[in-house]
Amino acid sequence: MTDMKGVSSDFAAGTLTAAGAADQLQLAEWLLIGMDRSVPVAPDSAVHEYRRPEGPDNVVRFFYLDRGQTVQEFQEFATMLRTIAEIRRVVAYNETKILAMRGTVDQMSMADWFTNQLAKTAPAPHPHSVTPEYLLPADPAPRPNENVTRIFFVANAPTIQDFQELATLIRTIVEIRRVFTYNTPRAMAMRGISDQIAFAEWLFNEIDQPRNGGQGHASTTYTYPASPEAENAARVFYLPDTATVEDFQRIAVTVRSATKMRRVFTYNSQRAVAVRGTLDQLALAQRLLTELDPADFPKAP
């Protein structure tokens, strides 16, 4: 956090000796005071910040996050922040639930937003919901402008496996790089271009629903405008009459093979197959389902 090279410690005596520039020593003192807390550390929503006078990663922050969560939950939250905000210097102190990080002003603002959205979040189940979007400053061309972040709270994933399947489905179909899950509150954080986040929201709203025990059906067709290729159409097919996961997976594999679609992914608990391809491929998939699963997709009279 301080970039100091001359640091030595005597653990038996409880002392730490540091040598460096005046500003580095001031930051080291600030860090030691902030970390030297007795357990348990009360949660604190105040801003604990130190700003170095110069340098790209000149903002250091503490977050006091002890709300009774397990070490695994605390680490998941820390990893989510590091991954989505691309903060290189993040240190999680498990015993005290203190999160220390250093980065840019924009990264620390994003960390604040995440903390406000998630740190006080109760365990699942949550109502099906999506946070307002968080916008980072736009990246200059020619980089993709992956500056839009949202958090999706899943209401209909009773198990962690269900939750992870849904997150993988959205990542696969949308082809979005930055997706991270926080298991206990069933929260998925995603960052990408605006069209990717809109596509992800459509899939999320379509699939995160109570299981429909009625007849099979298909969603409307979603057209993904940001795709540079012809495979920009998506649908979700529901096959509730397939008795076993094995039967359901066999049908999905056949559809993938026969249509030659690259993006076919399943959500077992909902018996949902999400597909993305050309309009012709989607039409072929629907025709195949009338042969493979006539109970859910009967032929027209």
Q: What is the DSSP string of 270-282?
A: GTEEEEEE-HHHH
pLDDT of residue 19: 47
Q: Which of 3-7, 24-28, 78-82, 122-126 is the least confident region?
A: 3-7
Each residue's pLDDT tens digit, 107-125: 999 999 999 888 766 776 7
Cα Dmax for the chain: 86
The SS3 call for residue 258 is helix
Give the pLDDT band of residue 69 (cuts 50, 70, 90).
confident
pTM: 0.86
| Range 44-66 average pLDDT | 87
42 has a pLDDT exceeding 50: yes
Q: How far is it, in rounded angstroms, from Cα 271 to Cα 269?
A: 6
Give whole-number Cα distances, 272 to 122, 154, 214, 221, 227, in Å.
28, 16, 13, 15, 23
Give backbone dihedrals phi and psi of 19, rounded to 5 degrees, phi first. Answer: -135, 135
Highest mean pLDDT among 44-58, 111-125, 276-290: 276-290
Task: Give the separation between CA 216 and CA 202, rounded to whole angstroms.
Answer: 19
pLDDT at 243: 87
Provide the CATH number for the domain formed by 17-120 in this structure.
3.30.70
189-224 confidence digits (pLDDT tens):
999 999 999 999 999 999 999 876 677 899 999 999
Q: By the 8 A CB rule, do 178 and 223 touch?
A: no
Q: How confident is the model at residue 213, as a pLDDT? A: 65
Selected residue with higher pLDDT from 8 and 62:
62
Binning pLDDT at 50, 70 and 90, where does residue 10 land?
very low
pLDDT, residue 300, reads 76
Residues in contact with 136: Cβ distance below 8 Å, sequence separation at least 6, in sequence order: 106, 110, 147, 149
Both tokens of 91, joined, read 């240190």
Q: Which of 146, 138, 141 is CA-nearest to residue 177?
A: 146
Reported as a single tens digit per residue, the pLDDT across 136-148 is: 887 666 566 889 9
Mean pLDDT across the chain, nearest whole number? 87
User: What are residue 180's DSSP bridge partners?
Assistant: 189
Residues, the chain, total?
Answer: 301
How far is the C-alpha of 163 from the C-alpha of 231, rounded, in Å? 26
Q: Say how far apart CA 182 and CA 164 lie, in whole Å.
A: 10
pLDDT at residue 9, as a whole number = 45
H or E segment and range at residue 99: strand 98-103
Q: Phi/psi of residue 232, each to 5°?
A: -115, 15
Helices (H), the chain: 22-35, 71-85, 105-114, 160-174, 194-207, 245-259, 279-292
Ranges of each domain in the chain: 17-120
pLDDT reading at 259 higher than 90: yes
Residue 7 pLDDT > 50, yes or no? no
Mean pLDDT of the 7-27 span: 58
Nearest partner of 66 among 45, 83, 84, judged by Cα = 45
**pLDDT score recorded for residue 120:** 64
Distance of alpha carbon 285 from alpha carbon 301, whole angstroms: 19
